[in-house]
Structure 1
Amino acid sequence: MHLEPIVSFAILLTVILIVPLLFERFKLPGLIGLLIAGVALGPHGLHLLNTESETLKLLSDIGLVYLMFVAGLEIDMEQFEQTKHRSIGFGTFTFLVPLITGTIVGRMFGFGWNASVLIGSLFASHTLLAYPIISRLGVIKNEAVTVTIGATIFTDIGSLLVLAVCVAIHQGAFSTFSLMKLLLGLVIYSAVILFGFKWLGHEFFRRTRDEQGNQFLFILMVVFISALGAEVIGVEKIVGAFLAGLAVNEVIGSGPVKEKVVFVGNVLFIPIFFVDLGLLIDIPGFIKSISSVWLTLAILVGLIGSKGAAALLAKVVYRYNWQEMITMWSLSLPQVAATLAATLVGYRAGLLTEGVLNGVIVLMMVTATLGPLITARSAPGLITTDTTSEASESTLVWKNDPSQALTVVVPVRNPETERNLIEMAALLIRRESGRVVPLAVTPAHIHMDSPELENDIQQSKILLSKAVELGREFGVEVEPLVRIDQGIVHGINHASREQDANLIVMGWGSTTGIRARLFGNVIDSVLWASHCPVAVTRLLDSPSNIRSILVPIENLTQEAVRVVRFVEIFAQANQAEVTLLHVCARRTSPARVAWMESQLNLLVSKYFPQSHTNIKVLASDNLVNAILKASKSCDLVVLRSRRRRLNIGEVALSDVTTEIVRQIQCSVVLLGEPQGYQDNLSKAREVVKKSSPENLTKQEI
């Protein structure tokens, strides 16, 4: 059936919007639903979508490029640097062993050497689908986990290079000269992309500063020029897209530009790629073909066994324990991004058959489910490095210089929340000594003499006069400030920087909805651009009446220590009792629970000996319900404000913090560090270490 392009596009949008939501309600991955929708709507189903459609081809190709670009963008280069030698070692194991195994599988089923090596390269890569699990469990600092994360760079690049060589050999006459020419072109091309675009990106971002629209377009230009350049030298465009992701990884960091780039891909182009992939699947033909069934089983057994053998080699060479080995195996098991992209390229080039394509899709479904399940069972018992020792080297206060007076900026817009915000800031600076800066931002107009602007300024002055009265009432120094700026966010961030603020205390605002998701909201934007931490508050009672505070702690990190420090200052000013809550899975071993309790007690006794702090570790598989239940006996819950993470292939977002805030019945404070704040602290530490290691102190870092 031939449909107008606009009709096909409307069908795709409907599928992308509805199908993942339906599957996720049944606890199934949304991308599986997209594949099934492609099967149902394609030439082997209802014939509503045609894989030969130029519109679908274009959108799917963009999705394919986007998928590999995001894969490169999500790789943590800093973690790779920490254990790069062992990461390369394990990367070699988990690349070569599956590569050889896959090649043997290909030869067993009658494929030529070129196609067999390509099948082996499909085994070699892996996707870190279980990253959110290990992050939640707080075991990322375990060496085996860090090594596996770093190995992703090696396996993905290696498998894509093998793909490039195999496709080039398939498309032209093979000779040693042509192979050397291709490899030399790849080396030169990779250097240009990795170093040239990295330098160009830094320069462009430095010159454009806050022009996020232009920066977004620049990143898109880098992606598609890199993809085009790859095809010019005779390799697949997904190789260029992946290298582009690595090149701009450090340039855009984890800022708003990255979120917008990934968002566009994850909600539109990447889902279309999965739907198009489903169009290629012939389920009846696959079921009828006995040989394809045996090939699928061979691919499954070969992949699972070879990844296990690679993890076993790493255990023997680096002397990891069995639990670490199983975790490494489970983390390297899922085959999604690079594997699917390379399979589709090989299939379109005529190197791989439909049986291999079907087998790899089954492989993706099995490993994407099995890998995270095994990780969730094996990772909780891993032992990590002593994070409290790291915390001793981190800033336990928010001030750059602890000898300076504390400055808290309080943006005031709502008369109903103004009193509680000023009181919160007053309680914090009483103990630390300092000043409160009530800030009223008036958006600029084209004409500075406009009546609207004059009216806004008068309203701001009324709010600030009230703030001055509240300052006298609470006995703190207040320095009101009216600012005219291009927008609320710019005004808050610019004024806070000029006042050298150590903390921003803000009232609650909308954090959900289509507009907030697409363009961000005031709170998100302040967090992205602010130079200091931000406390976002929803206070149901006067801050001085708070007597019990609950602090959920996911894992022992430097950020967690700073949250506890914030709570400790507030609690001492109010003589409040603090409860540190850690929620672990029900299957967590008693040893892991005891270790977490001991670490929390050590944290409290070492850094906050005078605070009234209780330790509570709960075993529950429902994190939200556990925190909500514990909050019923508290006046205030303090949470870390965490940015939503968009994982490859995921269409829907899950945000535990949003769910807690929506249901909680007491006051809430979200304490968020701005994007780049931790990175800047880390860079400062490195500078100090390099310049004078023997003089490194808490105050200097």
Structure 2
Amino acid sequence: MSFFQLSLIAAVALLGPLLAFPRKWHLPMVLGQLLAGIAIGRTGLGLVDAADPTFTFVADVGFALIMFVAGTHVPVRDRAIRSALGSGAIRAAIAALPAAAVGTLIAFVFGTGHAPLYIVLLASSSAALVLPIVDSLQLGGPKVLTTTAQVAVADIACIVALPLAVDPPNAARAAAGAAGVGACALLLFFVLRRLELSGARRRVHILSENRKFALELRIQLALLFALSGLAVAGHVSVMLAGFSFGLVVAAVGEPRRLAHQLFAVSDGFLGPVFFVWLGASLDLGALAGSPSMVLLGICLGLGTLLVHGSLRLAGQPLPLAVLAASQLGIPVAAAAIGSQRNLLQPGEAAALILGAIITIGAAAIAGSRAARTFAVPAVVGR
């Protein structure tokens, strides 16, 4: 990997903001970045090599940081969210039941043997997608809060379950690694909470801001990378390390200055590198040459909409149910992990992404519909 290639990656990643610019489309930036990677990678022009060790490592760093930022965006300190957590958890559990049936059926029909993976995919939601849509459309009310809590619970549960589902023969090893990462994250919570209550974190913040040391960012990155290293040693994805540490930081409280710094590092550089790498690693030629994989992606996407849409029977408004079906992190992680470990069939990783794109399109439409009923008028200041 050369500086010219890195420059190319940064340039083509601008397709993300370009597609996300029209507000009425409600498209996430990652969609354009994935398409950019596809254009210059294995499927397209072949200008970058996703198998390059340097490219892969930088992408892994970006993946850990993306999931960390996604974890910090889960509003665990919001009392309204916590009050809706019980109802949201019940809905997430209810969605898991049809997900088990539909996921098993899809795996049987296509003969992939990946029923556990499909079940996790169908049951998952993406807090990284849903929360920004809820904020941008100014959705509010008890039903929206319950849906937000449902998405957060489903996202966390599926992130924990994914390493076990991707590689069932090594599930015990992955479970032990996941437990180790979770235990360390919990320990970090108590340590950081103690520093917060004692005022030590505040003093470091003031010193860092006055002297331009960026101490909080340095410390958080050091802890994130240490936890990611533990995850790799425990044979689980850095996704779990990043998201669990993000939840810890969200629970303790993230300073605004640190949030801005993390946004610059993640969304400005390392995040786009990861999504371009993922797009570059996908072989859509294999997908195009295998109609069954195209059909698999369509079935996964429509199956996810069916699973979450069935919650309409439990009283959830259909636009919110479809919005909760939007996927990103779990399919992306499954494609990345499966490709790295050669656990998927040719074209199957691309099929997972195709299914996710279908849910993103449906969520964009559902979000617009939900805004007609659940949008909260902005309060105009005096």
Which residue number corresponds to residue 20 of structure 1?
Answer: 16
1:296 pairs with 2:261: no
Which residue number corresponds to residue 206 of structure 1?
Answer: 202
Give 1:301 deviation, angstroms.
2.0
2:319 to 317, 327, 337: 327
Distance in 1, Cα, partners of 2:181 & 2:271: 26
- Please list the CA deviations of residues 322-370 of structure 1 after superposition, one character each: whole Å capped at 9, or x if unmatched: xx52133122121112331233212322332243211222222222122
Distance in 2, Cα, partners of 1:21 & 1:70: 18
Distance in 2, Cα, partners of 1:153 & 1:132: 13
Query: What is the identity, as a one-letter code, of the residue corresponding to 2:279?
Result: G
- Please list the CA deviations of residues 660-683 of structure 1 after superposition, one character each: whole Å capped at 9, or x if unmatched: xxxxxxxxxxxxxxxxxxxxxxxx
Q: Is the 8 A contact 1:24 1:30 kept in 2?
A: yes
Give 1:279 deviation, angstroms.
1.2
Given the superposition, is the C-alpha separation of residues 44 and 135 from structure 1 closer, same or farther in structure 2, using an over 3 Å criterion?
Answer: closer
Any stretches of 5+ residues in structure 2 without a counterpart? none
TM-score, with normalisation over the residues of structure 1? Answer: 0.49
Given the superposition, is the C-alpha separation of residues 37 and 375 from structure 1 closer, same or farther in structure 2, using an over 3 Å criterion?
Answer: closer
Which residue number corresponds to residue 359 of structure 1?
Answer: 351
Distance in 2, Cα, partners of 1:95 & 1:247: 26
Q: How does 1:304-453 map to 2 (within 5 A)?
A: 304-309=305-310, 311-315=311-315, 324-382=316-374
TM-score, with normalisation over the residues of structure 2? Answer: 0.86
SS at match of 1:229: helix
Q: Is the 8 A contact 1:38 1:279 kept in 2?
A: yes
What percentage of aligned pairs have identical amino acids?
23
Q: How does 1:168-567 map to 2 (within 5 A)?
A: 169-170=168-169, 172=170, 179=172, 183=175, 186-187=178-179, 189-200=181-192, 203=195, 205-210=201-206, 211-212=208-209, 213-253=214-254, 255-309=256-310, 311-315=311-315, 324-382=316-374, 554-555=377-378, 563=381, 567=382
- Please list the CA deviations of residues 67-122 of structure 1 after superposition, one character each: whole Å capped at 9, or x if unmatched: 2112211111124312121121112123443244223212221122xx22012212
Which has the bigger relative contact order, CA under 8 A and spacing at least 6? 2
Which residue number corresponds to residue 440 of structure 1?
Answer: none
Give 1:266 deviation, angstroms.
0.7
Given the superposition, is the C-alpha separation of residues 91 and 255 from structure 1 closer, same or farther in structure 2, using an over 3 Å criterion?
Answer: same
Q: Is the 8 A contact 1:334 1:364 kept in 2?
A: yes
Which residue number corresponds to residue 73 of structure 2?
Answer: 74
Given the superposition, is the C-alpha separation of residues 134 and 360 from structure 1 closer, same or farther in structure 2, using an over 3 Å criterion?
Answer: same
Give 1:304 deviation, angstroms.
1.1
Q: Is the 8 A contact 2:123 2:307 kept in 1?
A: no
Number of aligned positions between the proteins: 367
Given the superposition, is the C-alpha separation of residues 66 and 188 from structure 1 closer, same or farther in structure 2, using an over 3 Å criterion?
Answer: closer
Q: Is the 8 A contact 2:299 2:355 kept in 1?
A: no
SS at match of 1:51: coil
Q: Is the 8 A contact 2:41 2:47 kept in 1?
A: yes
Greater shift, 42-51 or 28-37, is seen at: 28-37
Which residue number corresponds to residue 417 of structure 1?
Answer: none
Any stretches of 5+ residues in structure 1 without a counterpart? 316-323, 385-553, 568-701
Query: What is the identity, as a one-letter code, of the residue corresponding to 1:72?
Result: G
SS at match of 1:209: helix
Which residue number corresponds to residue 35 of structure 2?
Answer: 36
Q: Is the 8 A contact 2:320 2:366 kept in 1?
A: no
Query: What is the identity, as a one-letter code, of the residue corresponding to 2:307?
Result: S
Which residue number corresponds to residue 155 of structure 2?
Answer: 156
Q: Is the 8 A contact 1:94 1:155 kept in 2?
A: no
Query: What is the identity, as a one-letter code, of the residue corresponding to 1:194?
Result: L
Superposed CA RMSD: 2.6
- Please list the CA deviations of residues 3-49 of structure 1 after superposition, one character each: whole Å capped at 9, or x if unmatched: x52222121122224x3354346766543332222222123322210
Q: Is the 8 A contact 1:167 1:349 kept in 2?
A: no
Q: Which of the two has greater helix per residue?
A: 2
Q: Is the 8 A contact 1:103 1:119 kept in 2?
A: yes
Which residue number corresponds to residue 452 of structure 1?
Answer: none
Distance in 2, Cα, partners of 1:135 & 1:37: 27
Give 1:197 deviation, angstroms.
3.6
SS at match of 2:88: helix
Query: What is the identity, as a one-letter code, of the residue corresponding to 1:11?
Result: L
Given the superposition, is the C-alpha separation of residues 339 and 44 from structure 1 closer, same or farther in structure 2, using an over 3 Å criterion?
Answer: closer
Give 1:235 deviation, angstroms.
2.1
Q: Is the 8 A contact 1:103 1:118 kept in 2?
A: no
Query: What is the identity, as a one-letter code, of the residue corresponding to 1:366?
Result: I
Given the superposition, is the C-alpha separation of residues 376 and 130 from structure 1 closer, same or farther in structure 2, using an over 3 Å criterion?
Answer: farther
Which residue number corresponds to residue 5 of structure 2?
Answer: 8
Given the superposition, is the C-alpha separation of residues 76 and 358 from structure 1 closer, same or farther in structure 2, using an over 3 Å criterion?
Answer: same
Distance in 1, Cα, partners of 2:30 & 2:167: 30
Give 1:124 deviation, angstroms.
1.9
Q: Is the 8 A contact 1:136 1:555 kept in 2?
A: no
Given the superposition, is the C-alpha separation of residues 21 and 188 from structure 1 closer, same or farther in structure 2, using an over 3 Å criterion?
Answer: closer
**Whose Rg is larger?**
1
Which residue number corresponds to residue 123 of structure 2?
Answer: 124
1:58 pairs with 2:50: no
Q: Which of the two has greater strand per residue?
A: 1
Q: Is the 8 A contact 1:65 1:241 kept in 2?
A: yes
SS at match of 2:45: coil
Given the superposition, is the C-alpha separation of residues 138 and 266 from structure 1 closer, same or farther in structure 2, using an over 3 Å criterion?
Answer: closer
SS at match of 2:347: helix
Distance in 2, Cα, partners of 1:48 & 1:259: 32
Given the superposition, is the C-alpha separation of residues 286 and 370 from structure 1 closer, same or farther in structure 2, using an over 3 Å criterion?
Answer: same
Distance in 2, Cα, partners of 1:255 & 1:383: 26
Given the superposition, is the C-alpha separation of residues 269 and 153 from structure 1 closer, same or farther in structure 2, using an over 3 Å criterion?
Answer: same
Given the superposition, is the C-alpha separation of residues 296 and 133 from structure 1 closer, same or farther in structure 2, using an over 3 Å criterion?
Answer: closer
Given the superposition, is the C-alpha separation of residues 269 and 383 from structure 1 closer, same or farther in structure 2, using an over 3 Å criterion?
Answer: closer
Query: What is the identity, as a one-letter code, of the residue corresponding to 1:144?
Result: K
Give 1:153 deviation, angstroms.
2.7
Which residue number corresponds to residue 400 of structure 1?
Answer: none
